[in-house]
Amino acid sequence: MDTTLFYEQLKQILDTEEVKPENVLKDLETWDSLAILSVMAMADAQFGVVIKAEEMRSLVTVADLANLIRTKKK
Amino acid sequence: MRHLFKNKKISAIISVVPSQEYRFDDEYPLLKLTEEKAKRFKKTIGVDRHRIAPQNVCSSDLCLYGLQQLLAGGTLERKEIGALLFVSQTPDYFAPPTSNVIHGKLGLGNDVICMDINQGCAGFTLGLMQAFMLLDISGLTKVILLNGETGSKQVDRANRISYPLIGDAGSVTIVERCENVNPIYMDVKNDGSRHQAIMIPAGAYRTPATPETLKLTEVEEGVRLSQQHVRMDGAAVFNFTMEDVPLQIQDILGMSGDTIESIEYFLFHQPNAFILKQMADKMRIPHTKLPNNIVGLYGNSSSVTIPLNITHNYPEPMLRGKHRVCVCGFGVGLTWISMVMDLGPLETCKIVEYEPA
């Protein structure tokens, strides 16, 4: 997975300058239902990965999200 | 379930919207959105304005008004009405069927068939399926398919993910028999195991209405609802629109021998611009062929968005000639229905604003 692309896309979705792997998703200011859908759409469009609704709900940190996409991409 | 319908056509469509229009720019403060968040929401989801019926106006009023316009305009005669099909999730009553109520208001004869169908976003396509089947009754001249929804009554005003997107509308589609036309291809799919993805949990008989079920709770910031309001698992619905629907579109094009190039217009149900753009990109359908503007203009009126899509975006082409279209309704159920057919020339294809008697 292109990690740089992932963080670039995520920063765009969250409309923020900085995103760190340890950030807890639900504590991020712009993490709302729209962000969740945008991430799912991004994973599919950019990485060809389909993230299921239940999988989204189980994620805690940004690193969890990155790892999920990385794993599913294989 | 795949099927080919022969010798059937749509001859007219009229959509009816309330005259009361509300703008997102005026409403978002009540939704606890900052100006920043509101801008983001507007840009991504595609909301802008929507039509909301006054409290005393029901789905059936919007549909009846459309029907009266068609009768007054000469497109339809009373004696041609063989069946009234009312598709809605917001009927006048639990009993009698709303189609019977409309039958009474029009003073129609006893031999008319009246039928209500409880369906949402796939309701235009499901209604067409039923209309085509009713036309096999030999004495039946025209089926009047009525789609009506006042979804604003099922959503709380302080619900930022639902209220800005909702819209109220009604439509009337005349369906009749016809010689020398291409067959209509249809695929109907259901998955009730995911029925909780879009639902109103209380107020009918599984969980009857109580003062408790009317209580409003804020499930997340700016999202307020009661158990008698529509609730949706956005992520699960997103999976559905991106996985199941594209597969069906691929199937139906294969069945009819069409391609993305041979289809002129992809007339999809309009949940919001975001989902439609994602779906179009996934299926490699140009956005110019798959309109996504109806939510931003009128709101999401469930099964009425497809007739609104047609009457708003393509009235002139539909009045003038024949067009190869792919129609797709998807949503509550979960139900997803796709069709490939020729549409037009239509005798009527327009939107009117409801005027109370």
- pLDDT (0 to 100) of residue B249: 98
Give the residue-averaged pLDDT of B237-251: 98
What span, in angstroms and rounded, lies between the C-alpha atoms of B220 and B228? Answer: 17
Confidence of residue A66 (pLDDT cuts 50, 70, 90): very high
Range of the domain at A20: 3-73
Give the residue-averaged pLDDT of B16-21: 98
On the question of pLDDT at B91 being above 90, the answer is yes
- pLDDT (0 to 100) of residue B170: 98
Confidence of residue B221 (pLDDT cuts 50, 70, 90): confident
On the question of pLDDT at B222 being above 90, the answer is no
Mean pLDDT, chain B, whole residue set: 97
Residue pair B202/B227 in contact (Cβ under 8 Å)? The answer is yes
Q: Does A38 touch chain B (CB under 8 A)?
A: yes
On the question of pLDDT at A64 being above 90, the answer is yes
Give the residue-averaged pLDDT of A16-33: 93
Give the residue-averaged pLDDT of B230-253: 97
DSSP 8-state symbol, A50: P
Give the residue-averaged pLDDT of B73-99: 97
- pLDDT (0 to 100) of residue B23: 97
Give the residue-averaged pLDDT of B208-232: 93
SS3 B317: helix
On the question of pLDDT at B315 being above 90, the answer is yes
CATH of the domain at A12: 1.10.1200.10
Give the residue-averaged pLDDT of A8-16: 94
Q: Which positions 218-277 of B are in contact with A (Cβ < 8 Å)?
A: 220, 233-236, 238-239, 242-243, 274-275
On the question of pLDDT at B30 being above 90, the answer is no
Q: Between chains, do B235 and A32 touch, taking CB under 8 Å as contact?
A: no
Residue with tokens 């069409």: B258
| Beta bridge partner(s), residue B21 | B51
For β-strands B323-331 and B265-268, DSSP reports them as parallel
What residues in B contact A38, CB-CB < 8 Å?
44, 274
Give the residue-averaged pLDDT of B235-262: 98
Residue pair B327/B193 in contact (Cβ under 8 Å)? The answer is no
What span, in angstroms and rounded, lies between the C-alpha atoms of B297 and B305? Answer: 11
* Mutation choice for B interface testing from A15, A33, A55, A58 by most B CBs within 10 A: A33
Distance from CA of A29 to the nearest CA of B (A): 10
Confidence of residue B33 (pLDDT cuts 50, 70, 90): confident
- pLDDT (0 to 100) of residue B67: 98
Contacts of B296 (CB under 8 A, 6+ apart): B46, B47, B48, B49, B273
Give the residue-averaged pLDDT of B24-46: 91
| Beta-carbon pairs below 8 A across chains A and B | 48
| Domains assigned to chain B | 1-357 (3.40.47.10)
For β-strands B142-150 and B81-87, DSSP reports them as parallel
Q: Does A41 touch chain B (CB under 8 A)?
A: yes
Give the residue-averaged pLDDT of B137-144: 94
Give the residue-averaged pLDDT of B297-311: 98
- pLDDT (0 to 100) of residue B135: 97
Q: What's the alpha-carbon Rg for chain A, to the nearest Å?
A: 11
Give the residue-averaged pLDDT of B122-142: 96
Q: Which positions 27-66 of B are in contact with A (Cβ < 8 Å)?
A: 36-37, 40-41, 44-45
Dihedral-angle region of residue B238 (phi above 0 means left; psi in -120 to 50 means alpha; beta otherwise) = alpha
Q: Does A11 touch chain B (CB under 8 A)?
A: no
On the question of pLDDT at B37 being above 90, the answer is no
- pLDDT (0 to 100) of residue B31: 86
On the question of pLDDT at B299 being above 90, the answer is yes
Give the residue-averaged pLDDT of B228-248: 97
- pLDDT (0 to 100) of residue B50: 98
On the question of pLDDT at B220 being above 90, the answer is no
The two tokens of residue B53 are 């019926």
Q: Please give the angle made by the CA atoms of B290, B295 and B299, to the nearest 5 degrees.
A: 150
Confidence of residue B120 (pLDDT cuts 50, 70, 90): very high
- pLDDT (0 to 100) of residue B157: 92
Q: Structural domain tally of chain A? A: 1
Contacts of B82 (CB under 8 A, 6+ apart): B111, B112, B113, B134, B137, B139, B140, B141, B142, B143
- pLDDT (0 to 100) of residue B100: 98
Q: Between chains, do B233 and A53 touch, taking CB under 8 Å as contact?
A: yes
Give the residue-averaged pLDDT of A51-60: 95
Q: Does B22 touch chain A (CB under 8 A)?
A: no
